[in-house]
Amino acid sequence: MILINQSRLIKYYRINTITRLFSDFRFPDNAPRTADNQSWLEHLENQDKLSENISNAEDYSINAENEDIIDKSLNSRFSYKVISRPPESRYIEIKSPLQNFTSLKYLKSLENDINKNKNRQTGFIDTRIIKCRSGNGGHGAVSFFRDAGRSIGPPDGGDGGDGGSVYIQAVEGIDSLAKLKTTYIAQDGKAGTADQLDGAKGKDMLITVPIGTTVRWCMDPVEVKKFIKEKNLADNKQSIREFTQSHDISLQCVGKLELNNDPFQIQMFRESYKPGKGWIFKGKDEEYHLQQPWFKTLNKRVTTFDVQLRITETNEDRFPLYGIDLSKATTTPICLLKGGNGGLGNMHFLTQMIRNPRFAKEGRNGLEQHFLLELKTIADIGLVGFPNAGKSTILNKISNAKPRIGHWKFTTLVPTIGTVSKGVEETPFTVADIPGIIEGASLNKGMGLDFIKHIQRSKSWVFVLSLESPDPIEDMKTLVYELGGMDKVTTKNILVVCNKADLLENNETSIEKFSKVNEFCKKNNWDCIPISALKNENIDELIQRMAKSIRMKD
């Protein structure tokens, strides 16, 4: 293959035609010699036992040295059944609910009874499905050197350029997925040309997302919608949620030996030519060539080369089943889809037997896949509570954030993050206010539990109860239930805040309510504090307790 600087040199000579007039001018010659081609093809012949079985292929994982980006939070929620695990191959066929590979938010438009509130979240986009396509490799060229003295010289067709790849990177300074495009297409590689010129490599495509974005492989939403419409509307029995939970999709996965060989990565497949195919013929066609013994011998060897190419692709074209979690700024962009390899130019096929190779190879195709991007804001503390409990008022008092406050329910429609600064000496911490949770939220009532993802990674959860409520303990229990039960809740450091304590003054029932909550918290070993966000009472103490809660157990 020709190095870039050499290609430039060649271009220079082409432009500077006067140079050609000098008889001692030697055109730069980077084409492999007959002997080089011969030994390359013989080397391939010795490897012809190599099968397409990838069991011995080197283990490849997305950025092997950077495995901490694999999203582990999904492990427990992700259900699948292994359908087959042939001993001779590393492919594991699994079946898993469609719900794991699509976004309910995207499919909701099919349902008629959409809660209008949910449609009002236009400014803040935290879920996107994007289509990505890596570039096809350019085709190799069929060309022969010509000059005044020789009507036809040795083959000098250059290789096709590799297709561009699609990368993703999490960066500071973006806080929404709103600006993402729907489609990201990397450029195709250019075809090789005469004079041993390799085609240019296709331009890569880089997707920049906010820190805290998770990326999962998913199905084409248009196809999913069509499938649901056809299947479900006929029966019209299930909601979209139920439908996606009860219908499975099957996938080819690859395991990892050190992980009990459990399915670990989804295998993606390129629609490219099969080994031994993908020839471009100039002059006589494929049928003629396939009858020639010399071509048959050559093709047998080149088939081995194609198989090797395919093994490399197979090892690279994988994506973690649970997705990746870009919780930190990514220093090196992560490759989502690799571009196709460029095809070989005819200069590679000059051997003692073949003096006049009128054929080259096609470039390999790129990949087209969909990915589900979800932004999970990263705040140290998440505020959870019923609507109207006073969460936004608290965030307003303790931090620089200015969330909407109102005496009506669901004032907060999108998560708001505030930074709490306790002075120059101490590290500030962040607090997220999410829309209120109500009974049945886990069944999508009210604003549903869609926003929970924004506090999933928070170390502490602060339950905000209102002493105005008839039964704050019951509220607390409902919140715990809706958030996934005690097992889930106790994975976080918990602080319980009894807000609207100004109502305690001279009010025996309110005092009794607080004592009961306090008692309940003691039993669970949770910290509990009364405050009045409205009257700014006990706010400094609340900030201290919040800071303490993040320092607690990991």
What is the contact surface with ligand GTP in residues (CB under 6 A)? 385, 387-393, 405-407, 409-412, 435-436, 499-500, 502-503, 532-534
Q: Which two tokens stand for residue 218?
A: 């998913």
The amino acid that residue 331 corresponds to is T
Q: Shortest distance, CB of residue 317 to ligand GTP, whole angstroms? A: 44
Q: Shortest distance, CB of residue 125 to ligand GTP, whole angstroms? A: 20
Q: Which two tokens stand for residue 76?
A: 């427990």
Q: Which two tokens stand for residue 141?
A: 């060229």
Smaller CB separation from ligand GTP, 392 or 460: 392
Smaller CB separation from ligand GTP, 156 or 475: 475
Smaller CB separation from ligand GTP, 46 or 507: 507
Q: Shortest distance, CB of residue 340 to ligand GTP, whole angstroms? A: 50
Smaller CB separation from ligand GTP, 401 or 550: 401
Nearest to 348 by CA among 140, 44, 37: 37
Q: Shortest distance, CB of residue 387 to ligand GTP, whole angstroms? A: 3
Q: Shortest distance, CB of residue 54 to ligand GTP, whole angstroms? A: 52
Residues 6+ positions from 416 with CB-CB distance below 8 Å: 392, 395, 401, 403, 432, 433
Nearest to 164 by CA among 132, 198, 137: 137
Q: Three-state SS for 100?
A: helix
Q: Shortest distance, CB of residue 393 to ligand GTP, whole angstroms? A: 4
CA distance 335 to 162: 15
Q: Shortest distance, CB of residue 203 to ligand GTP, whole angstroms? A: 45
Tell me if 153 sits within 8 A of 165, measured CB to CB: no
Tell me if 438 sits within 8 A of 386, measured CB to CB: yes
Give the CA distances from residue 5 to residues 1, 30, 138, 362, in Å, rounded to whole numbers and listed in that order.
12, 12, 19, 24
The single residue listed with the structure tokens 């007039």 is: 21
What are 465's strand-pairing partners? Answer: 498
Smaller CB separation from ligand GTP, 387 or 415: 387
Smaller CB separation from ligand GTP, 333 or 387: 387
Smaller CB separation from ligand GTP, 126 or 195: 126
Q: Which two tokens stand for residue 476?
A: 């607390």
Half-sphere exposure for 397 (CA within 13 Å, toward CB)? 19
Q: Shortest distance, CB of residue 92 to ligand GTP, whole angstroms? A: 44
CA distance 245 to 250: 14
First and final CA of the chain: distance in angstroms?
A: 53
Q: Shortest distance, CB of residue 396 to ligand GTP, whole angstroms? A: 7
Instruction: Compute the C-alpha angle 368/307/363, nearest 5°.
Output: 50
Smaller CB separation from ligand GTP, 177 or 389: 389
Smaller CB separation from ligand GTP, 439 or 502: 502
Smaller CB separation from ligand GTP, 251 or 438: 438
The amino acid that residue 49 corresponds to is K
What are 381's strand-pairing partners? Answer: 431, 460
Q: Three-state SS for 382?
A: strand
